[in-house]
Structure 1
Amino acid sequence: MGNWLDRCRKLLLRLLLRALLKPLWRRLAGPEGIRRLRAHAARADRWVGGGRDAAVQSVQLEGVAGCWIGDAAAAQHGVLLYLHGGGFCVHMPATYRALGAALQQRTGLRVLLPDYRLAPEHPYPAGLDDVERVYTALLANAVADGPAEGLDPRRCCIAGDSAGGALALALLQRLRDRGLPLPACAVLLSPVTDLCGGSPSWQRNERSDWMFTLAAQPLLCEAYAPGRDLADPGLSPLLGHWHGLPPLAFHVSSSEMLLDDSVRAVERARAAGVAAELRIWPDLPHVFQVALSLRDAQRSLDEIGHFIARHLKASP
């Protein structure tokens, strides 16, 4: 019965995304595109996040709004800094609070969800600057109701999905270059690593992707990085230097356009001597982990929880 229900949920989600979201991208061109995209995301947030919202505590982090998930005592075990996706332009707070709660349950860590500034109102590097301020504030005990003596980076994990995954990787590279302490590990869910579109799966998987078409790339890039060189590692961390980064875990779907953004990133990381794991899940939507009713989403989150526990425990 459970397998049958899961197959039905997966089929329904596939039909909805392919019928409602995938065709949308070609109708979002022009200055009204992001506004319309946000309106669609708000409706989806009520559907995906509805009924699973977690109790949260609002916080200000060096001028960046955000929220904690989990009580203050959980911070003694460590902190998971989670950077939400949304194409650098959109946030779905109920959806990500539910995902954060699921991760908090699996890790025992206190989860911090910053509301970094979004494009096009705040283009690159505003969002990256925000998440750096949040991380350094944690280290310096400058966050209200944060760890009592500042966060030991060995008790911290950074995670992010899609655009948030790009921010997470760019943040790690920036922290390393500035000589700042790095977290114990990082988790990337279907991250965007090459905004230049150099991954073969962007073309190869356009038809099989449940959500995206190639029309999404120019819309989001023009909003996030107008006039910028997309080969800048702050925008395309795949093209940056990977040496010295902490252990990384990538989870991605076999059918999505961003598949090779993860495959190529793992290759670059391993070539630089970084421990990197790659988990490819068969035929699921982009960032399927937010669909918490799916069995594969639960399994993926379980594996992520084990990865984080293993590396935080291994830290001296």
Structure 2
Amino acid sequence: MSAEEREAARSMMQKAELGRTPDEQRAGFDELFASRPLGDDVKVVERTLGGVPALDVHVDGADADGVILYLHGGSYVVGSARTGANLAAPLSRRSGVPAVALDYRLAPEHPFPAGIHDALAAYRELVESGQKVVIVGDSAGGGLGLATMIAARAEGLALPAGAVLLSPWTDVSLKSPSMDSRGDDDPLFSRANMAESAEFYLSGTSPQNELASPVFADLKGLPPLLVQVGTAEILLDDSLRLVARAAEQDVDISLDVIAGAPHVFQYFAGAMAEADEALDHAATFIKSRLAAG
């Protein structure tokens, strides 16, 4: 990543303001992300999945066997299936695999574990209908994807063929060293605004609950994982700690670390070569996992 690309990415971000209501946060997030063009080859169709609102993300020619279950980011407080479609669509286009983006319930109106219940219900319907699934999630959606697999394992459901986690938030107790050491580098987040979101989400639940902070969970038996993260983000160590723990527990896990890249840098595809390369790698992983499954 050139210095110019890095600065261009940073200029498009600003640290979230503290003290805004969830509705104010959602309005600001939607203004930035909910109306981004998905491409002339994309059509989104409303549906329900396990009783949860969702969007089928139809990309012309994406008709391979299997499905991407996309879980959007937004610190468990903001975001939607439509904002998730911004990354579900290019992954579907690159992999040829259909995608569905989930509108799981958000905090603080619906705190932990409502989002996990929704994701598990959606996943259960896909599995019980005979679908082969790869879970993909960014930021909070990455943590939610991990929690969904752990919950599915506990219920005896077949696990997905794999999962792709983009800058996942895996520790809502905020114990990762990069929460402080990368604070000046991160153009988007600070410890303070992550703590605000964690408080909304947990609503009194222990932050070390393994479904809230899956970096503390027993990961044995999970399917192959691909983690992508940038070094200019306070969630860097949420990924590095997850990878180390997964490796210790004999989980097949791959890691892409992009120097100087911000949180969920894949949003900059078309403007940042590393973002396109990361999406290409993720798409190859998705195809290979579904073929193996």
**Structure 2 Cα separation of the partners of residues 72 and 274 of structure 1:** 34
- Deviation at 1:15? 2.0
Q: Which residue of 1 aligns with 2:290?
A: 312
- Tell me whether 1:203 sits opposite 2:191 in the alignment: no
**1:118 maps to which residue?**
106
- Partner of 1:15 in structure 2? 11
Could you tell me the TM-score, scaled by structure 1's length? 0.86
Query: Which of 38, 43, 49 is matched with 2:26 structurally?
Result: 38
Listed as ranges, the gaps of 5+ residues in structure 2 are none
Bigger Cα Rg: 1
CA distance in 2, matches of 1:295, 1:72: 24
- Looking at structure 1, the residues matched to 144 and 38 of structure 2 have their Cα atoms a distance apart, in angstroms, of 29
* Distance in structure 1 (CA, Å) of the matches to 2:174 and 2:29: 24
Deviation at 1:76, TM superposition (A): 5.3
Partner of 1:300: 278
- Secondary structure of the 2:171 match is coil
Note if 1:90 corresponds to 2:67: no
| Offset from partner CA, 1:27-55 (integer Å, 9 cap, x none) | x22xx4322211211221257x2464731
Query: Partner residue of 1:146?
Result: none
- Contact 2:59–2:93 under 8 Å retained in 1: no
Deviation at 1:222, TM superposition (A): 1.5
Alpha-carbon separation, structure 1, partners of 2:43 and 2:5: 26
In the aligned structure 2, how far is the partner of 1:121 from the partner of 1:72?
Answer: 37
Amino acid at match of 1:13: A
Matches within 5 A, 1:32-181: 32-45=20-33, 49-50=36-37, 52=39, 54-70=42-58, 74=62, 77-91=65-79, 93-141=81-129, 150-151=130-131, 155-181=132-158
* Pair 1:72–1:136, CA change in 2 (3 A): farther
Contact 1:14 1:210 in 2 (8 A): yes
**Which structure: greater helix fraction?**
1
CA distance in 2, matches of 1:8, 1:96: 27
Structure 1 residue 105, shift from structure 2 partner: 1.0
Kept in 2, the 8 Å contact 1:72–1:110? The answer is no
- Cα deviation for residue 92 of structure 1 reads 5.0
Question: Is the 1:52–1:98 Cα contact (8 Å) retained in structure 2?
Answer: no
Residue 147 of structure 1 corresponds to none
Amino acid at match of 1:234: L
Pick closer, same or farther for the CA change 1:68–1:174 going to 2, 3 Å.
same
Equivalent position of 1:279 in the other structure: 256
The aligned length equals 291
Q: TM-score by structure 2 length?
A: 0.93
Q: Which moved further from structure 2: 123-132 or 210-219?
A: 210-219
User: 1:8 Cα deviation (Å)?
Assistant: 4.7
2: CA distance, partners of 1:213 / 1:193: 16
Cα deviation 1:3-29 (Å, max 9, x = unaligned): 9xx865542331231xxx21x33xx22
Do the aligned residues in 1 keep the contact of 2:80 with 2:102 (CA within 8 Å)? no
Q: Which residue of 2 aligns with 1:221?
A: 198
Q: Does 1:291 align with 2:268?
A: yes
Q: Residue 285 of structure 1: CA displacement?
A: 1.4
Deviation at 1:232, TM superposition (A): 0.2
1:158–1:187 CA contact under 8 A, matched in 2: yes
Contact in 1 for aligned 2:172/2:212 (Cα 8 Å): yes
Partners of 2:261 and 2:290 in 1: how far apart?
29
* Cα 1:311–1:289 shift into 2, 3 Å: same
Rounded to whole Å, the distance in 1 between the matches of 2:206 and 2:223 is: 27
- Decide whether the 8 Å contact of 1:195 with 1:221 is kept in 2: yes
**Among residues 234, 239, 243, which one is paired with 2:211 in the alignment?**
234
RMSD of aligned alpha carbons: 2.1
